[in-house]
Structure formats: structure tokens, C-alpha cells
Amino acid sequence: MSQQPNVLLLGPPGAGKGTQSANVADEYDIPHVTTGDALRANKDMETEHGTPRSFMEAGELVPDPVVNEIVAEALGDEGYVLDGYPRNEEQVAYLADITTLDAVCLLSVSESELVDRLTGRRVCDECGANYHVEFDQPAEEGVCDECGGELIQREDDTEDTVRERLRVYHETTEPVVEHYREAGVLQEIDGEQAPDAVWDDLRATIDETV
């Protein structure tokens, strides 16, 4: 297997892309490239299309030129795990122009479970680590195990915005999944298992594929 693979993780909001990307980045010693985190760190950045915040808080996609530039700058040539991109056909085409994927993995989770995961998610304000009020509690309530930072709720994790994000996923991002399925490169993983079991399957899949 090549030491540092180019891995794409696909899946609906709340499927566990961020949670599992942390494992992938650790295991293969590659950077975690995620448009969501990059946009959250630059929410009020002025672009000719407006600020990312307005789109994100409504659960809508941020315009392609903004996210394409983030990805083009972040993908190096020493492997990566990419999470949250591409989300529409235009982004698929852009990505194909700038890199070659070694593994494309889809985390599948049912809709009702997704809503529970997202509305219960808490994230570290400092380092971005993910927790859940029921499924993945920190040692001390409200405090990050990794860095001691404060755990907060994402602004787009309210039930209404979660439903809109899921709607956008079905309409715009499911065709992306179908694109990779038709190309014969999609590996599907049962994302509804416990996090460790998902990771066992994901690691085995990456090891077999690259």
C-alpha cells in the first residue's frame, strides 16, 4: 500500500465523517482537509459572493469558487483525507482536475439517527474535536478531553437547519455519491455501528483499496 493515500470520505450530515477523518489522519499520518471547518474558521470573510456565515447558518451550500479555492490550497502531494467536499457535480469535476483519489468511502446512516446525532453533537471551540451528549461524552461535561477547551453547539445543529442540510444533501450531494458509484470506485461502509466498529471497517476498506 502507498504510505500516504488520498482518501475521500462521503456521507450525509452527521454520518461521522469528521469523527472518522480524525482516525484516518492519525493512522496514515496525513492531513484532514475539511471545507466545513475551514469555512467555520473564516465565517465572516468577505468574498464577492457574500460571507460564508449567511449560507452556513441557513444550511445552504457556500458558492463553489469559495470552497474550490480552499480545497486547491489545502491538498498537498503527501496524502490527505478529504471530508465535506465535493458536494455537487461542479465540485466533482473541479476535484478531478486537481488530484487523483485512491479510496472513496461512503458512510451510510439512516435519517432518524442523523438528526439525533447532529442535535446532540458538541464540538470543541479550540481544537474542533467532536463529542455527543449521549453517544460520546467527554470525561468532564462541557470540557474537551484533548485540549481542555469549551464544548459548544454548532449554530447549524438546530433541528430546523439540520432538516434543511439533509434536504440539500439529498438533492445536490446524493448525485455525487451516484457519480462515484457509477465509476465503480465507491466503497460503502455501515456508518450506523458504534464508532470503533465503523473505524475497523473503514480502515480495512482503505487498506484493501489503496
- Please list the active-site residues: 17, 87, 121, 154, 165
SS3 190: strand
Q: Which of 5, 14, 16, 18 binds Mg ion (CB under 5 A)?
A: 18
Instruction: Provide φ and ψ at 30, rounded to 5°.
Output: -130, 155
Is residue 160 within 8 A of residue 151, CB to CB? The reply is: no
Q: Which residues, 6 or more positions from 112, have their beta carbon under 8 angstroms from its beta carbon?
A: none
User: Per rule CB under 5 A, is residue 144 in the interface with Zn ion?
Assistant: yes
User: Per rule CB under 5 A, is residue 11 in the interface with Mg ion?
Assistant: no
User: Per rule CB under 5 A, is residue 128 in the interface with Mg ion?
Assistant: no
User: Per rule CB under 5 A, is residue 149 in the interface with Zn ion?
Assistant: yes
User: Per rule CB under 5 A, is residue 152 in the interface with Zn ion?
Assistant: no
Q: Regarding beta strands 151-152 and 103-108, do their DSSP bridges make them parallel or antiparallel, or are they unpaired?
A: unpaired
In terms of CB distance, is 30 or 129 closer to ligand AP5?
Answer: 129
The single-letter DSSP state of residue 172 is I
Cα distance between residue 21 and residue 30, in whole Å: 10
Nearest-approach distance from CB 2 to ligand AP5, in angstroms: 25
Look at residue 150 and give the partner it binds from Zn ion, ligand AP5, Mg ion, none, a contact being a CB closer than 5 to 8 Å depending on partner kind.
none
The single-letter DSSP state of residue 62 is P
Look at residue 39 and give the partner it binds from ligand AP5, Zn ion, Mg ion, none, a contact being a CB closer than 5 to 8 Å depending on partner kind.
ligand AP5
Instruction: Provide φ and ψ at 173, rounded to 5°.
Output: -100, -25
The single-letter DSSP state of residue 63 is P
User: Per rule CB under 5 A, is residue 67 in the interface with Zn ion?
Assistant: no
* DSSP3 helix / strand / coil % (the chain, rounded to 5): 45, 15, 40
Nearest-approach distance from CB 2 to Mg ion, in angstroms: 25
Residues within the interface to ligand AP5 (CB under 6 A):
11, 13-19, 35-36, 39, 55-56, 59-62, 67, 84-85, 87, 91, 117-118, 121, 130-132, 135-136, 156, 165, 194-195, 198
Residues lying near Zn ion in the complex (CB under 5 A) are found at 124, 126-127, 129, 144, 146-147, 149
